Amino acid sequence: MIARTTLKIHPDGQIEFIHDDELVEMFQDAIADQHTTRASHVEPSQTSPGTWDADLSPVGGPLLCGFAKRQAALQAEVAWLNAHYLHISS
């Protein structure tokens, strides 16, 4: 399963989304004042070799640990960011 890309458009016109190369390309010419901020890190686990962790501490979130595959950690990362950072339910 591929993580779904979600846009959040604020009343003032600000657009927030989880980085996606295609979305960045789509908006790069339309939006003059773009700003990218790291929301998380998906990396090999430091405590459980052979697994992957999603560290959401840059946005005040938890450390999601122990994923057997990197893709699973990425999906959990996107789901958490959608629900808790962008406040979008699936």
The string of pLDDT tens digits covering residues 4-40 is 667 788 898 887 888 777 777 777 776 667 777 888 9
Cα 66 from Cα 14, distance rounded (Å): 35
The string of pLDDT tens digits covering residues 47-84 is 999 999 999 999 999 999 999 999 999 999 999 998 89
Q: Classify strands 7-9 and 15-17 as parallel, antiparallel or unpaired.
A: antiparallel
Cα 83 from Cα 86, distance rounded (Å): 6
Cα 19 from Cα 39, distance rounded (Å): 10
Quote the pTM value: 0.77
